[in-house]
Amino acid sequence: MLKNKISRRQFLQLSALASAGLTIGSRLSPALAQELSGTINYIHHFTSESEFIGMESVIASFQAANPGVEIVQENIPNADFMSKFTAFVIGDARPDTTMVSSERVTDMVAMDGLVDLTDLINDWELKDVSSDLVWEGVTVDGKIYGVPAFAFIPWMYYRKDWFEEAGIDPPETLEDFTNAAIALTDPEQGRYGFGLRGGDGGHGLIMEVMSSFGVNFVEDGEIVADRDTMIEAIGWYSSLVTEHGAVPPSVTGDSYRQIMEGFKTGQTAMVWHHTGSLAEISEALDPDQFGTIARPMGPMGYPGYIGFLYNGIMKNDNLDASWAWISHWGTPEPAIEFLDATGYFPANSLLSDDERVTDNPLYGAAFDALAAGELEPQFVGASGWTRNVVLPEFQKVLIGDATVEEAVDAMLEGLEDAIE
């Protein structure tokens, strides 16, 4: 897998170039805009009020520039999104455009659900403001299937006030992290060092930990995962629970909602998530109570996959208007509208020197993490394997039903079944 890291300096350089490019060709020319007409259907999984506020701003700005095009949006809960996407494709009732996440693009392309946009993107004046890493997240077999909209950058929230109270610094290595989690755990006070996501959705973090120890999973259709390294990774991660007791007892049932509520209500000192949840945490805690920081580095890399959200095209009807709509998401105005409404980090570097990003100290961690993070491993069957094998086997370790070695063996066996 191509590893392409961007430094903060490179970001700023690219943004300077892009700013010049913006004045020339970031929008369609007025003449061309007037030619576009029709109704464009767009499916997505925005559901919260803040996301809708942001999206409505984007629709308004697009329709102001393209008055002949009407955008009809349909929101689908994230958990059911692929079911409905599949129904649309199989039932030949495709909408024009769709939201595409980097973890789903492989499966979407496998069912022939997306239009190849390679030629359109290569001719697009804003292509180069996004790094190769961004484009890699939506590229399958050399073809590009989406325009980047946002980035979900994995980082860590921590209770600044607890760390100050204990006189310890935020962790930079996994060893520091373990020691901090232990030091900040006090069950009698109802405090735990780390809100480990051992419930629904926790598979992602397990994969991130294994990757940070140097585990590669599948290359060219072959399993290349090293058993011993997987054991080391799972062993460390599970020791937070089984050996140190530094997580809440409800760990095996804790999904996103539980770890976030636990952090917001003062039960945990640290929690791993990404930039998408910043607005929620900021509403609940004061700036002097919490901070953001890049996750501590693992032995071989950063324990976090960068997730990008893109927009793609599902059918060739009215391609010009569909392209205009999805490429609009890649321009600065929608990114700012969404950043204001949701806190979602832009996927390209155009805004990296915007004061709304640079003046917010919380976003410093995002740049650090962006420089170190990688994309989630992509192979057909990955989603099912991680959810249905990796997570349950890890949970068995947490409750003592399996040893680390047994769990890893089961994961490898499941991986063989998944890629067949």
Shorter beta-carbon distance to other proteins: residue 38 or 77: 77
Tokens of 71: 């955008």
- Smallest separation, CB 411 to other proteins (Å): 27
Shorter beta-carbon distance to other proteins: residue 124 or 256: 256
CB atoms within 10 A of CB 24: 8
CA distance 312 to 275: 22
- Smallest separation, CB 74 to other proteins (Å): 5
Q: Tell me, what amino acid is at 187?
A: P
CA distance 78 to 234: 28
- Smallest separation, CB 256 to other proteins (Å): 8
- Smallest separation, CB 21 to other proteins (Å): 32
Closest alpha carbon to 75 in 40, 108, 101, 43: 43
Shorter beta-carbon distance to other proteins: residue 97 or 178: 97
Shorter beta-carbon distance to other proteins: residue 260 or 415: 260
Shorter beta-carbon distance to other proteins: residue 211 or 311: 311
Q: Are 333 and 54 in contact (CB under 8 A)?
A: no
Closest alpha carbon to 366 in 310, 412, 304: 304
- Smallest separation, CB 83 to other proteins (Å): 7
Shorter beta-carbon distance to other proteins: residue 60 or 90: 90
CA distance 18 to 11: 10
Shorter beta-carbon distance to other proteins: residue 227 or 257: 257
Shorter beta-carbon distance to other proteins: residue 28 or 341: 341
- Smallest separation, CB 218 to other proteins (Å): 28
- Smallest separation, CB 279 to other proteins (Å): 7
Site residues, other proteins (CB under 8 A): 45-51, 72, 74-78, 80, 83-84, 86-87, 90-93, 190, 256-257, 260-261, 264-267, 276-277, 279-280, 284
